[in-house]
Amino acid sequence: MFSPALPTKAPAQPRAKDEEKPFPLAATPRAVVLGMALGGANAFWVLQCGLRWWTVDPTIVSLFANAVVTLLGVAGINAWLRKRWPQRALRRGELLLIFSMVSIASAMAGVFSFQLLVPFLIFPFQSGSIAQQWAQPLSSALSPALLPGQADIRGLFEGGSTLFLSAHLRAWAWPMACWSGFIGLLLLIMVGLNALLWPRWGPQERLTFPVVELPFQITASKVEFWRHPLLWIATGLAVFPTLLSVLHFFFPSVPRFPLTFWLGPAANMPWRAGGRLFLLWRPLAFGLAFIMPLQMSFSLWIFILWWHLQRVLAAALGLYIVEGEFPYINEQALGGYLGLAILAVWTGRRQLLALLRFWGEKAKNRGEHNLPLSPLLACGLLVAGCAGLVVFCRRLGMSYLALGAFFVFYFAIVLGITRIRAQVGPPSHELGLSGPDQMLPTLLGSLTFSRSDLLGFSLLSPFNQTYLSHPMPHQMEAFSLCERARASLRGIPAALIAAGVVGSLVTLAGSLHLLYKYGLGSAHLHAPLGALLSPLYGRLSSWETVPSLAHYSRLGACGVGLGTVLFLAAFNSRFLAWPFHPAAYAVSNGFFADAGLLGFFTCWLIKFLVLRFGTRSQYEKLRILFLGFILGDMMGMTFQTLAAVIGGLSIVLS
């Protein structure tokens, strides 16, 4: 019934005659400096798109539009340099490292990353805020190291000022340094984990990393890719609807192309419980759905329908009304991510043990194998990062048990996301309201934790909302890109950490600048901060006023998700024609997954037919066509953000 899915491992490449030559360095000083400068500029741009204008956020999808357009500009200038002064032109590995640094810096500024950290910290001090009861506990837990006094915070609500006054800089210098240091500790642990897993995922499994296929093609020295007519046809088709809709926003006489198509729910129960299906014009999803393995694209649309069918079955049995959120789909998806993290560690256990046996191997051997870090240094980063997190979270008042559970949960989730992106490359990875800040009190009960623990969970909640923009997958993709470009991975981890720290500093300083200039709650800040922040403090208040015990039904749903992923993985490894991919079970839940239902089905059908009845040449042409869809979507998103910032309007297309 099904043709064999394309393998998730890249075909072995023939050995080049000069393979024994040393790999050229990608993390050169010029590439690192340029990457940090462009990364900081892009982080501020993403902050403007979200906090200032509340238009499309480039970081809500797997491939960031601003990073791709930046790479296009740098690659174009580099092509000109290659003709005029070849010795001064950047090598391919350097270009790809710059792209990765820009992506990581942008990820730090995403609206579901650290963009809301400063507004979250000061929100209870606003007059009339529903979170005012938490102003004193927050001030006691954070001041003075992590939050200035109330006199220094008052200017953030009034506006008409700037961060760049000596009094404001003195008040915020130490808190910004402490919070950036905390983010740097997270980045240290992520790099250490990625460095330990890279030998297994890269040289051994040869995972394909579909998300970054377009940036890799952009940096190719050959021009055949750009001369293919199908590329430009697809790019035009992808960008035209967005262009038309933006122009309609400014000039109503221009016809509008609807980007969202809603399918009304059934009138009667139990079908109405399945929710509304809708289709979103997102050519990036079409392109990645074609590039990813056939098994994955098939599994995605099957499991999207399965989540809706579960709600219908629950309503038919009367459980949907009795239990409210039954069948606990978020908890099932969370269990799926945890299962993928367990599989990632379990399948690479022999490689990890082998690395630990020789954890003191010399740098000479590391260079021969082109590893980003020696096992000794990677383990050192893990230990140093974990020790730093313990010190930081103890300063917040969290107990050892609470902080340990939180970060084990957190890194298991992001490890699962990194594995999914490395293996199959979904258009997005949304895990809404399923982070450890929400799930630990929900699953284990708020009575399990002290008031300080619950406050600590809430303080860490701004970057645990959806995991749409997370830096860890971009770190692993940087290793893959530079390895495919036959560049040395030495120095890349330090460059990626530097990019993340720069992005976090720009995000924190930029947030403070915008708040001092316009004021929290001002109409000049189009982001609905009240609607975004109130639920986080409302949840904290409910934990205190209505304490809860462990919720065994939700724990069971989490176990069901974990067991389902392990079951699917076991069958997937034993039967070649098994049609269901375990990663699709976890990633198919969420707004953006639902929006791509028709695209996933259509691209699966096209790819199935061309693999069954077509030729390799036809497949390659279609592959270029769908890469053009991705490129057009990146350009369309960039045009929308440019129009919002230059036009001074909040442009949200539908």
Say how far apart CA 574 and CA 568 lie, in whole Å.
10
What confidence category does residue 618 fall into, taking pLDDT thresholds of 50, 70 and 90? very high
Give the distance between the most distant pair of CA atoms in the chain.
73
- Sign of CA pseudo-dihedral 441, 175, 50, 183: negative
Q: φ and ψ at 372, to 5 degrees?
A: -70, -35
Domain range annotation of the chain: 29-126+154-533+547-647
pLDDT at 526: 84
Give the chain's radius of gyration (CA, Å).
24
Is residue 11's pLDDT more than 60?
A: no
- Write the pLDDT tens digit of every residue in 163-172: 999 999 999 9
Averaged pLDDT, 632-649: 90
Is residue 394's pLDDT more than 50?
A: yes
Q: What is the mean pLDDT of the chain?
A: 88
Say how far apart CA 369 and CA 652 lie, in whole Å.
48
Between 131-145, 357-371, 618-632, the lowest mean confidence (pLDDT) is in 357-371
pLDDT at 185: 97
Averaged pLDDT, 559-568: 96
- Sign of CA pseudo-dihedral 381, 428, 201, 416: positive
- Write the pLDDT tens digit of every residue in 399-440: 999 999 999 999 999 999 999 999 999 999 888 888 999 999
Q: Which two three-digit tokens encode residue 114?
A: 């650290």
- In this structure, how many other beta carbons lie within 10 angstroms of the beta carbon of residue 243? 19
Q: Are strands 260-263 and 277-280 parallel, antiparallel or unpaired?
A: antiparallel
Say how far apart CA 497 and CA 499 lie, in whole Å.
5
- Write the pLDDT tens digit of every residue in 620-630: 999 999 999 99
Conformational region of residue 142, where left means phi above 0, alpha means psi within -120 to 50, and beta covers everything else: alpha
What confidence category does residue 356 fall into, taking pLDDT thresholds of 50, 70 and 90? low
Say how far apart CA 566 and CA 570 lie, in whole Å.
6
Contacts of 258 (CB under 8 A, 6+ apart): 281, 654
Averaged pLDDT, 362-378: 70
Q: In terms of Cα–Cα distance, which of 644, 593, 16 is closest to 308?
A: 593
Q: In terms of Cα–Cα distance, which of 609, 2, 596, 630 is closest to 301?
A: 596
Is residue 373's pLDDT more than 50?
A: yes
Q: Find the angle CA(472)-CA(565)-CA(352) to the nearest 5 degrees.
A: 50
Contact by Cβ (8 Å): 385, 185: yes
In this structure, what DSSP letter does residue 9 have?
A: B
Contacts of 302 (CB under 8 A, 6+ apart): 579, 580, 584
The fraction of the chain above a pLDDT of 70, given in percent, is 93
Buried b / exposed e over 350-376, threshold 16 CB at 10 Å, is: ebbeebeeeeebeeeebeeebbbbbbb
Q: In terms of Cα–Cα distance, which of 209, 207, 298, 426 is closest to 3?
A: 298
- In this structure, how many other beta carbons lie within 10 angstroms of the beta carbon of residue 76? 11
Q: In terms of Cα–Cα distance, which of 113, 168, 179, 117 is closest to 146?
A: 179
Averaged pLDDT, 574-587: 91
Tell me the β-bridge partners of 263: 277
What confidence category does residue 362 fall into, taking pLDDT thresholds of 50, 70 and 90? very low
Contact by Cβ (8 Å): 162, 176: no
Say how far apart CA 247 and CA 178 lie, in whole Å.
44
Contact by Cβ (8 Å): 98, 499: no
What confidence category does residue 264 fall into, taking pLDDT thresholds of 50, 70 and 90? low
What confidence category does residue 217 fall into, taking pLDDT thresholds of 50, 70 and 90? very high
Q: φ and ψ at 280, to 5 degrees?
A: -115, 130
Q: In terms of Cα–Cα distance, which of 407, 590, 366 is closest to 492?
A: 366
Q: In terms of Cα–Cα distance, which of 541, 572, 384 is closest to 458?
A: 541
pLDDT at 445: 94
What confidence category does residue 5 fall into, taking pLDDT thresholds of 50, 70 and 90? very low
Q: φ and ψ at 148, to 5 degrees?
A: -70, 175
Model pTM score: 0.92
- Write the pLDDT tens digit of every residue in 438-471: 999 999 999 999 999 999 999 999 999 899 999 9
pLDDT at 514: 94
Q: φ and ψ at 517, to 5 degrees?
A: -80, -40
Contact by Cβ (8 Å): 434, 330: yes
pLDDT at 582: 94
- Write the pLDDT tens digit of every residue in 72-103: 999 999 999 999 998 899 999 999 999 999 99
Contacts of 616 (CB under 8 A, 6+ apart): none
Contact by Cβ (8 Å): 486, 21: no
The fraction of the chain above a pLDDT of 90, given in percent, is 65
Say how far apart CA 511 and CA 484 lie, in whole Å.
37
- In this structure, how many other beta carbons lie within 10 angstroms of the beta carbon of residue 488? 19
**Top-confidence residue, 106 or 359:** 106
Contact by Cβ (8 Å): 125, 135: yes
Conformational region of residue 425, where left means phi above 0, alpha means psi within -120 to 50, and beta covers everything else: left
For the chain, how are helix, strand and coil distributed in percent, rounded to 5? 70, 0, 30
3-state secondary structure 440-504: HHHHHCHHHCCHHHHHHHHHCHHHCCCCCCCHHHHHHHHHHHHHHCCCECCCHHHHHHHHHHHHH
pLDDT at 416: 94
Say how far apart CA 644 and CA 54 lie, in whole Å.
9
pLDDT at 470: 93
Distances (CA, A) of 54 to 314, 503, 644: 37, 19, 9
